[in-house]
């Protein structure tokens, strides 16, 4: 178990998530004081000094601190400072340097999209990620590329178009960094049919609503997004959703075969070898996927 202690702030989720990045596959418990046995991490903010300290069996073995200006400190910057101290502490302890830096539970492209909307340059966006959030340059370039692709799509959208998020909250395993509502299939497989019944009923309600607005159910939904877990699981185990290896359905069908929502003709595929590995992983086999 890894114990963590908060002093001078209440950013519990940010502290635990950052600890999980460096010290995964453990149990985590917030306490008022470092534990007498085992590993403890203390995160402190007071009098303009942010600190992270590591304790083993009640004895402090490592610490890292930085100064900050309390005046005008917003929550976003407070989170960044707390995560920075933990990052530096645990990087020194473990030797791990996460390629996404301080980013946890957030879409990197969303941060960059906001900066691009403000008129910031590519260089400013890259510096923001690599210097402020310690993101590796290759990942920062990827986030910038994705943000620009999203921006291009949004610029082409029309008022009558609809984007739809379809949540499939089941995964073969629970990723440590994941902030979505998702559940391991092995534990919740008896709830999948029940969930899909409710999902199809809701999609049918949506189709009826679109019809009352004079819209054809298959036409205006330009950006359906099946996520929230692993949509492929429903194809492999239940066959209710038509999903290719890229995770994008060609159409969503009701149980009687009626098309509720149709996606455009373009489909996204992984290379065959990667796709085969992905399917093996979703079926519960241990494989290495790059």
Model confidence at 140: pLDDT above 80: yes
**Residue among 63, 106, 104 at smallest CA distance from 86:** 63
> What does the pLDDT average to over 149-159?
81
Rounded Cα gap, residues 254 and 199, in angstroms: 9
Where residue 247 falls among pLDDT bands split at 50, 70, 90? very low
**CB atoms closer than 10 angstroms to residue 163:** 13
pLDDT (0 to 100) of residue 170: 79
Q: What are phi and psi of 43, to 5 degrees?
A: -115, 120
Percentage helix, strand, coil, to 5, in the chain? 40, 20, 40
Mean pLDDT is lowest, of 1-15, 52-66, 174-188, for 174-188
Instruction: Please name the residues in contact with 83: beta carbons below 8 A apart, sequence gap of 6 or more.
Output: 14, 18, 102, 104
Rounded Cα gap, residues 121 and 269, in angstroms: 32
pLDDT (0 to 100) of residue 90: 97
Query: Length of the chain, please?
Result: 290
**CB atoms closer than 10 angstroms to residue 34:** 21
N- to C-terminal Cα distance for the chain? 30
pLDDT (0 to 100) of residue 169: 83
**Residue among 165, 164, 130 at smallest CA distance from 144:** 130
Rounded Cα gap, residues 108 and 100, in angstroms: 9
pTM for this model (two decimals): 0.65
Rounded Cα gap, residues 177 and 280, in angstroms: 22
Q: Measured between alpha carbons, how far is residue 67 from residues 64, 84, 266 in Å?
A: 11, 11, 51
- Burial (0-12, 13-18, 19+ Cβ within 10 Å), 186: exposed
Where residue 250 falls among pLDDT bands split at 50, 70, 90? very low
Model confidence at 97: pLDDT above 60: yes
* Partners of residue 238 on adjacent β-strands: none
For the chain, domains (ranges, CATH) are 2-94 (3.30.160), 108-156 (no CATH), 162-282 (no CATH)
Residues 190-240 have pLDDT tens digits of 888 888 888 888 878 877 777 776 665 445 555 555 556 665 555 444 444
Q: What are phi and psi of 48, to 5 degrees?
A: 80, 10
With beta carbons less than 8 A apart as the criterion, state whether 267 and 246 touch: yes
**CB atoms closer than 10 angstroms to residue 199:** 18
Q: Measured between alpha carbons, how far is residue 278 from residues 87, 187, 226, 227, 285 in Å?
A: 31, 20, 17, 16, 9
Helix (H) or strand (E) holding 275: helix 272-282
3-state SS class at 172: coil
**Residue among 114, 109, 101 at smallest CA distance from 142:** 109
């Amino acid at each position: 178990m890894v114990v963590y202690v908060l002093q001078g702030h209440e950013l519990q989720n940010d502290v635990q998530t950052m600890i999980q990045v460096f010290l995964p596959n453990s149990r985590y418990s917030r306490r008022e004081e470092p534990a007498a046995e085992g590993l403890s991490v203390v995160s402190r903010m007071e009098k303009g000094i942010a600190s992270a300290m590591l304790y083993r069996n009640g004895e402090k073995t490592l610490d890292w601190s930085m100064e900050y200006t309390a005046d005008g400190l917003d929550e976003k910057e407070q989170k960044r400072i707390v995560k920075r101290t933990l990052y530096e502490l645990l990087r020194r302890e473990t030797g791990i340097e996460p390629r996404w830096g301080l980013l946890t539970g957030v879409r990197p492209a969303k941060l960059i999209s906001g900066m691009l909307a403000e008129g910031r340059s590519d260089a400013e966006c890259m510096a923001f990620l690599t210097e402020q959030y310690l993101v590796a340059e290759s990942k920062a370039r990827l986030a910038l590329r994705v943000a620009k692709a999203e921006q291009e799509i949004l610029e082409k959208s029309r008022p009558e178009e609809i984007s739809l998020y379809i949540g499939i909250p089941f995964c073969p395993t629970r990723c440590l960094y994941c902030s979505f509502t998702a559940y391991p299939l092995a534990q919740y497989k008896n709830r999948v049919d029940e969930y899909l019944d409710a999902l199809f009923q809701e999609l049918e309600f949506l189709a009826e609503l679109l019809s009352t607005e004079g819209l054809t159910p298959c036409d205006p939904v330009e950006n359906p997004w099946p996520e929230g877990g692993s949509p492929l699981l429903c194809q492999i185990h239940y066959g209710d959703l038509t999903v290719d290896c890229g995770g994008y359905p060609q159409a969503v069908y009701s149980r009687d075969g009626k098309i509720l929502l149709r996606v455009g003709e373009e489909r996204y595929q992984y290379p065959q070898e990667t796709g085969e590995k992905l399917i093996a992983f979703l079926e519960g086999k241990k494989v290495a996927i790059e």
